[in-house]
Amino acid sequence: MEANIDRAKTACRILSTLGFLPLAPHLYFTQFLKDEEKKERETGMKLGLHWLEEADELWVFGDTVSEGMTAEIKKAHELNKPVRNLPEPGRVIELLLKSISEQYQIPLDDKTEDQKSKGQQDAAESEDNHE
């Protein structure tokens, strides 16, 4: 569940950065409804479907579709609202960085943190040897 929340937060961060108003019912309603209690989970899902009525479209991130997402997708189709399927939020960032790298000829740094530290250390030692 924690991983799902992190993914949803990342997706909302991406969308808000792009100027969209993300409505993520599973982030909002779980703040005051207990998702682990069946009745309260159902209430949250119903409220999320009402929220969808106000939305312009539905964005689905990733290939894993939960019970709640399935209901939202069905409802969006009933309301004739577009359903946008996107890759996982982390993959969106990766693809965006790749696109920027290619467009502006900026190499992506694939070095690990250890390699970066070693490179910085080597550079510092090189400067010390030149003094």
Q: Is 34 left (phi over 0), alpha (psi -120 to 50) or beta?
A: beta
pLDDT band at 27 (very low <50, low <70, confident <90, very high): very high
What is the reported pLDDT for 95?
A: 82
Query: For residues 121 and 108, what is the distance between their CA atoms, to the nearest angstrom?
Result: 21
Task: Parse the chain into domains and list their residue ranges.
Answer: 2-130
| Mean pLDDT value of segment 50-56 | 95
Does this model's pTM top 0.75? My answer is no
Give the per-residue pLDDT at 40.
Answer: 96
Q: Who's near 40: CB < 8 A, 6+ residues apart?
A: 33, 34
Q: Please, which pLDDT band fits residue 33 given cuts at 50, 70 and 90?
A: very high
Confidence category of residue 49, pLDDT binned at 50, 70, 90:
very high
33/69 Cα distance (integer angstroms): 18
What is the model's pLDDT at position 90? 79
For the cut 80, the answer to whether the pLDDT of residue 103 exceeds it is yes
- For the chain, give the percent of residues with pLDDT over 70: 83
What is the rounded radius of gyration, in angstroms, for the C-alpha atoms of the chain?
21
66-89, pLDDT tens digit by residue? Answer: 888 999 999 999 999 999 998 888
| Residue 114: per-residue pLDDT | 52
Identify the three-state secondary structure at position 108. coil
Q: Could you give the maximum distance between any two Cα atoms of the chain, in Å?
A: 73
